Amino acid sequence: MNQLPTTSRILDAAEKRFGKHGFDGTSIKAICAEADANVAAVHYHFKNKDDLAMAVMARRMEGVARRRKELLDALLGESDQAPPIRGIVETIVLPLVEIIASEGAAGRAYVKTLAHLIHERLDLLSTTHNTYNGTNASRQLEALYRALPGVPQGVVQYRLALSYDAALHWLAHPLQLTQEGPYVRPQRSSDDYTVELIDFLAGGLAVEPTTAEDAVSGAPSAI
């Protein structure tokens, strides 16, 4: 019998199911079966599926946000100078890479959960993200404004949101270009993929808008 506390079993099971099947594809009944718990226990500890999803995110997001702050502190210091764009991207990507490396399958399930929720329940993700990571996101945005003075701020905001979205989906389902054929590539290490992801996002953030008319006037909620 699993000796973990009921709340831990429920959170572990929910994270695994949300990561694999998404929020919409996961039922409380399925979580209970995975956790060897009853429906009453879920409602007692977490009220409903929305609150459970937010608890799953919060359990690891606090540590991720703490690590992101450390990286931002090291990058920005007390200077008002424009930081390197690649360094800003590293503050997005590296905390997620590190939690996958340290937590293994559970860390990957957490990132997969975020990747599902960004499209299925952005309201839940934004609420939790703003609680733990709102200050970090504001610092990232201000740093990008300084680093990209020629890009309209609305475009910068939109690109930052796209960068988070792309990072989550890449890390949740890393592309393995090892198929047979003329374009086959050797198996790459996780470090190689991380470097390529950071380079790709930095390039996307830095490119000039095509025309002034194409500039995005508004931005989705940052996550």
Sequence spans of domains, the chain:
6-214
Tell whether the model's pLDDT for residue 222 goes beyond 70.
no
pLDDT at 181: 56
Whole-number mean pLDDT of the chain? 89
DSSP 213: G
Dihedral angle over CA of 10, 11, 15, 21, nearest 10: 30
pLDDT at 178: 53
Quick one: 200 exposed, middle or buried, by C-beta within 10 A (0-12, 13-18, 19+)?
A: middle
CATH number (3.40.640.10, 1.10.357.10, 3.20.20.70, 3.40.190.10) of 6-214 reads 1.10.357.10
- For 82-100, the pLDDT digits (tens) are 899 999 999 999 999 999 9
* Neighbouring residues of 171: CB distance < 8 A, sequence distance ≥ 6: 93, 96, 97, 100, 108, 111, 115, 197
More confident residue, 184 or 52: 52
pLDDT at 185: 56
pLDDT at 79: 76
Can you tell me which residue has the tokens 């609420």? Answer: 127
Tell whether the model's pLDDT for residue 215 goes beyond 80.
no
Tell whether the model's pLDDT for residue 199 goes beyond 70.
yes
Residue 160 contacts residue 88 (beta carbons within 8 Å): no
Return d(Cα 152, Cα 160) in angstroms, integer: 13
Tell whether the model's pLDDT for residue 189 goes beyond 80.
no
- For 109-149, the pLDDT digits (tens) are 999 999 999 999 999 999 999 999 999 999 999 999 999 99
* Tokens encoding 73: 């502190």
Tell whether the model's pLDDT for residue 48 goes beyond 60.
yes
pLDDT band of 108, cuts 50, 70, 90: very high
Tell whether the model's pLDDT for residue 212 goes beyond 80.
no
* pTM score, whole prediction: 0.87
Q: Among 139-143, 151-155, 215-219, which stretch is predicted with the lowest mean pLDDT? A: 215-219
Tell whether the model's pLDDT for residue 175 goes beyond 70.
no
* Tokens encoding 207: 């490119």
pLDDT at 89: 98
Return d(Cα 179, Cα 187) in angstroms, integer: 10
Tell whether the model's pLDDT for residue 184 goes beyond 90.
no
Long-range residue pairs from 64-70, CB within 8 A, at least 24 positions apart, any chain: 64/95, 64/96, 64/99, 64/132, 64/133, 65/95, 65/132, 65/133, 65/136, 67/94, 67/95, 67/98, 68/92, 68/95, 68/133, 68/136, 69/135, 69/136
pLDDT at 188: 58
Long-range residue pairs from 97-103, CB within 8 A, at least 24 positions apart, any chain: 97/171, 97/190, 97/194, 98/67, 99/60, 99/63, 99/64, 100/171, 101/190, 103/60
pLDDT at 209: 82
